[in-house]
Amino acid sequence: MHSFSSTPALGAATVDLAAIAHNLRTIADGAGAGVLAVVKADGYGHGAVPVARTLVDAGANGLGVAHIREALALREAGIPGPITAWLHTRDTDFAVAIAAGLDIAVSSARQLAAVVDAAGRHGETATVTVKVDTGMNRSGVAADEWESFVDDLARARAAGAVALRGVMTHLACGDEPANPANDHQAQALRSAVADLRAVGAVPEIVHAANSPAALTRPDLAFDAVRPGVALYGLNPVPQHSDADLIPAMTLATTVSLVKRVPAGGGISYGHTYIAPADTTVAVIPVGYADGVPRALSGRLRVRINGRDFPGVGRICMDQFVVDLGPDEGGGVAEGDAVEVFGTGADGGPTAREWADLTGTIDYEIVTGIGSRIERRYVGGPVAGDDTVGGPTAGGAGGGRS
Ligand SMILES: *Cc1c(COP(=O)(O)O)cnc(C)c1O
């Protein structure tokens, strides 16, 4: 039977689940703490469900996502254990989160009241984490609301509307290990936990550290660290930590076309590159819609048959062009495998290199890999053949079934 999903995608992100399990252990050992593993934004573009399953199997104490929708997708895929979701809006449906047994992190008295209301309507007890704003001034219970919030929480507990699971905060300067803001925020978190304990609300788990803090400040690990990007093998603080992390994602495709371009021929939109001599080029069938930043036009390199070739001319929505040079790249042919970025272990291009070239962070590169790119999984229990579509092609699709 022919179907859309049996037609191969033009590009694939291969995700090494064994690398993710390894990174989890490396981070946990380094921090000497539990790990609440962050799998928001489709597991930083790696595919939330297979990644979450891997992390739970590898011993994560729980999972973290931003939206309740993301947490529900994990539950629907059968992911067990605590899942904390921390970003809500006025119209967030807390009832469905309570029914799914999620841990709802609340950032205000209003959010707590909405959770209490939803719990009351359904006669259930909601599991909550208190997200405290200790100085980032983003999400979290604001300092001026704190005292009344603690009273509200104490009442909600007494009424059986909520059970306290965690207390969390987020560091503004975790990537600067020596910044005193980290210590101020940790101290404010300790004081918030003490205030809650004083009204009988004792959290099971306290956490603050994102990846950079988990890698550099084990003294701020509390009960668990809360890394995202480092789980995927990307080190946000290479100048401060030489942790043994393995990048999990390799983005690859195959050469779509090989052709001659005569000296003086302009390549791609706007002819921003003019071939200085007769040459051979290869068309690479991934573009900015797939997450190859247009700002890399004329600046990226790809690996084909173990050799690097430069991108020339503008990166387009679906494709870009590389110059194979006068020797035709040593015989590069249509269908040859192209590593667009990978682990860097062999000196090849990396997400980090792209980020450095375009003035961003590798977080934005991997989370920007588009839905036309198929996610393939290796290094899992049934490594090799567990292919799922991208987020739109395969939905939350389970990967291993
Ligand atoms: C995204 C996020 C994290 C993970 O951050 P990394 O820098 O990727 O480790 C942790 N906590 C919260 C609240 C987040 O939003």
Q: Is the CB of 23 under 6 A from ligand 1?
A: no
Q: What is residue 383's three-state secondary structure?
A: coil
Q: What is the mean pLDDT of residues 246-251?
A: 98
Q: Determine how many CB atoms are found less than 10 A away from the CB of residue 172.
A: 17
Q: Is the CB of 139 under 6 A from ligand 1?
A: no
Distance from residue 374's CA to the centre of ligand 1 (Å): 25
Res. 6 pLDDT band, cuts 50 70 90:
confident
Q: Is the CB of 36 under 6 A from ligand 1?
A: no
Concerning whether 40 is annotated as a catalytic residue, the answer is yes
Distance from residue 228's CA to the centre of ligand 1 (Å): 5
Quick one: pLDDT at residue 397?
34
Res. 394 pLDDT band, cuts 50 70 90:
very low
Q: Is the CB of 171 under 6 A from ligand 1?
A: no
Q: Could you read off the pLDDT of 218-234 as tens digits, one per residue?
A: 999 999 999 999 999 99
Q: Is the CB of 211 under 6 A from ligand 1?
A: yes
Query: What is the DSSP-derived secondary structure letter of residue 236?
Result: S
Q: What is the mean pLDDT of residues 304-309?
A: 97
Q: Are 130 and 183 in contact (CB under 8 A)?
A: no
Query: What's the one-letter identity of residue 61?
Result: N
The mean of the pLDDT values for the chain is: 94
Distance from residue 100's CA to the centre of ligand 1 (Å): 23
Nearest-CA residue for ligand 1 atom 1 is 228
Q: Are 79 and 65 in contact (CB under 8 A)?
A: no
Concerning whether 269 is annotated as a catalytic residue, the answer is yes
Query: What is the DSSP-derived secondary structure letter of residue 11?
Result: E
CA–CA distance, 292 with 399 (Å, rounded to integer): 24
98 burial level (CB within 10 Å; 0-12, 13-18, 19+): buried
168 is in an annotated binding site: no
CA–CA distance, 299 with 155 (Å, rounded to integer): 59
Res. 381 pLDDT band, cuts 50 70 90:
confident
Q: Are 67 and 105 in contact (CB under 8 A)?
A: no
Res. 2 pLDDT band, cuts 50 70 90:
low
Q: Is the CB of 38 under 6 A from ligand 1?
A: yes
Q: Are 20 and 231 in contact (CB under 8 A)?
A: yes
> Which residues, listed in sequence order, are joined to residue 319 by a DSSP beta bridge?
none
> Which residues, listed in sequence order, are joined to residue 126 by a DSSP beta bridge?
162
Distance from residue 322's CA to the centre of ligand 1 (Å): 36
Q: Measured from the CA of 363, which atom of ligand 1 is nearest?
A: 8
Q: Write out the two tokens for 168.
A: 């969390």
52 burial level (CB within 10 Å; 0-12, 13-18, 19+): buried
Distance from residue 131's CA to the centre of ligand 1 (Å): 13
Q: Best of 38, 87, 232, 234 to mutate for ligand 1, by most ligand atoms within 8 A of CB?
A: 38
Q: Is the CB of 226 under 6 A from ligand 1?
A: yes
CA–CA distance, 250 with 236 (Å, rounded to integer): 18
Task: Confirm whether pTM is higher than 0.75.
Answer: yes
Quick one: pLDDT at residue 380?
86
CA distances, 41 to each of 48, 69, 233, 269, 366 (Å): 8, 11, 16, 32, 10
249 is in an annotated binding site: no
Query: What is the DSSP-derived secondary structure letter of residue 285?
Result: S
CA distances, 388 to each of 16, 55, 56, 78, 342 (Å): 14, 18, 19, 16, 19
Quick one: pLDDT at residue 1?
53
- Among the options 40, 44, 288, 363, which is catalytic? 40
Element (H, E) at 267: strand 266-267
Q: Is the CB of 210 under 6 A from ligand 1?
A: yes
Query: What's the one-letter identity of residue 292?
Result: V
Query: What is the DSSP-derived secondary structure letter of residue 401?
Result: -
CA–CA distance, 53 with 92 (Å, rounded to integer): 26
Looking up tokens 């706007």 gives: 270
- Residues 6 or more apart in contact with residue 218 via CB below 8 angstroms: 30, 31, 32, 33
pLDDT at 396 over 50: no
CA distances, 203 to each of 81, 117, 166 (Å): 17, 22, 5
Q: Write out the two tokens for 364.
A: 């934005």
Nearest-CA residue for ligand 1 atom 4 is 228
Q: Measured from the CA of 211, which atom of ligand 1 is nearest?
A: 9
Query: What is the DSSP-derived secondary structure letter of residue 247?
Result: -
Give me the domains of the chain, ranges plus CATH numbers: 17-232 (3.20.20.10), 249-378 (2.40.37.10)
Distance from residue 227's CA to the centre of ligand 1 (Å): 6
